[in-house]
Amino acid sequence: MQENLLALGYLILILSGNVSAQEKQFDLNASKKIVLNEGSFDLSEVLNIQDDLTLIGKVYIANNQIYKAKIKNGLAEGIRTFYKNSIKKTDSGRSIQMRVLEFKISEKQTSSKVASGELKIKFGYFLKTSFEPIHLVDYEAGITYQRSIHRTDLIDQILNRGLVNSIVFFNDWINDHATHNRKLAKAVRLEIVEKKKKSDQDTVFYDFNRPLSWSDFREKPSRTSGYNATIFTSLAMEGSPFMEEGVLVLPVEVKVYMLPESSWAKTQGKSDYALNHEQRHFDVTRVVGNRLINRLKALEVTPENYEAMVNDAYFNSYREMNRLQEIYDARTRHGLDKDAQSRWNSIIDQALNGNMDEIERELMKGNSKVYVYPPSYQYRITYRMVSASSTTGIY
């Protein structure tokens, strides 16, 4: 009985020895040679997303046997350490995530002493941010070779060459794209663009030297409205980012205008006093536009947050515009309260000249809890916010 147990134990040792002999580990970091003295990136994370996370393929070893090929410490850690050891100084400002889409080696025996093989590589490079990683570029390559069955060290050389080539490729790609690819921008410069806009029949742009006239109200008056006039004012923000020497430049133009085809006045309501009330609605939109410009100038934007920051400034101004228009109409009773109208003429003039104290007080007091939200939009095209229609009182 004891002899049978010893025989069984011996058989298990033989089998386990055969299993371990069927695997060959390769060390990607055995050489530790410097590939770049200064890299334009820092590979901080490697994700192996292949179907098989343990093997990189199969190779021929002595006695013409096929062995499973593995990487010491795992492929993901092996590649990350290889990059770290191969670049003397890295740019910590660009933290990179690599996704291993393919890293496979396959061999076939061409004779009793020679094996031919191919290494296939496909990496995806992503810029790490505070949010989701941003895809930059994919690297795809292949290396074919022939070797003596006994020269397994040549496999190490092939694996190392494949990784070296990927490092050089990606570093060159970043250097080639750093000045014009928005994804690689390290800084953002926001610029306020101020251009004098020429008015036409469709659009009257705000101009201190060009006050409104009743001829700007061309829509057919509403028969059912109890008001004598309505003005439709709008605020738009436009810009198209571009790269300049590695800096993302963000030009922003704030436009204030009214739409004649959406504004109307009844004949009996056309007085200088009523026109002033409507002009003041237009002035309120200009005041909000100026406040938006001040908000934008005060923003501390980065490549990660500039869109969110500009979006917030836009929405805040939109809500403020609608609120301020409603407060103005409520305080003046749509122009019926002449004393209040005179007071608001002064408040608005002060704001147009840069003194926002009274405007701030009115906004703090407020009177409106209902806000109209703007339509969806994207920066790079146009920000546009439209006020609720404003009206004069009945005379």
Q: What is the pLDDT of residue 384?
A: 39
Q: What secondary structure does DSSP assign to 222-271, as a single string?
A: PSS-SSSEEE-EEEEEE---EEETTEEEEEEEEEEEE-GGG-EE-GGG--
pLDDT for res 380:
32
Mean residue pLDDT of the chain comes to 88
Q: Which conformational region is residue 361 in: left (phi greater than 0), alpha (psi within -120 to 50 degrees), or beta?
A: alpha
Domains located in the chain, CATH noted: 21-177 (3.40.50), 184-391 (no CATH)
What is the reported pLDDT for 112? Answer: 85
Per-position b or e across 65-96, b if 16+ CB within 10 A of its CB: eebebbbeeebbebbbbbbeebbeebbeebbb
- The band of 21, judged by pLDDT with boundaries at 50, 70 and 90, is very low
pLDDT tens digit string along 102-132?
999 999 998 888 999 999 999 999 999 988 9
Is the pLDDT at 16 greater than 80? The verdict is no
pLDDT in tens, 35-55: 999 999 999 999 999 988 889
Confidence of residue 69 (pLDDT cuts 50, 70, 90): very high
Which amino acid is residue 306, in one-letter code? Y
Tens-digit pLDDT profile for residues 180-216: 999 999 999 999 998 888 999 999 999 999 999 999 9
Residue 116 · residue 145 · CB < 8 Å: yes
pLDDT above 70 as % of the chain: 87
The span from the CA of 347 to the CA of 10, in Å, is 99
In order of 1, 18, 350, 362, the CA distances from 9 in angstroms are: 13, 14, 98, 91
* 368 has pLDDT over 60: no
Q: Residue 14: what pLDDT?
A: 41
Model pLDDT, residue 391: 53
**Lowest-pLDDT choice from 4-13, 144-153, 278-287:** 4-13
Q: Give the span between the Cα atoms of 99 and 44, in whole angstroms.
A: 11
Q: What is the mean pLDDT of residues 351-356?
A: 97
pLDDT of residue 240 exceeding 70, the answer is: yes
- What pLDDT shows up at residue 61? 86
- How confident is residue 10, by pLDDT bands cut at 50, 70 and 90? very low
Q: Summarize pLDDT for 71-86 with one digit per residue, the tens.
A: 999 999 999 999 999 9
* pLDDT given at position 19: 43
Highest mean pLDDT, choosing among 154-168, 299-313, 368-382: 154-168
pLDDT at 318 over 50: yes
Q: What is residue 11's predicted lDDT score, i.e. its pLDDT?
A: 44
pLDDT, residue 41, reads 97
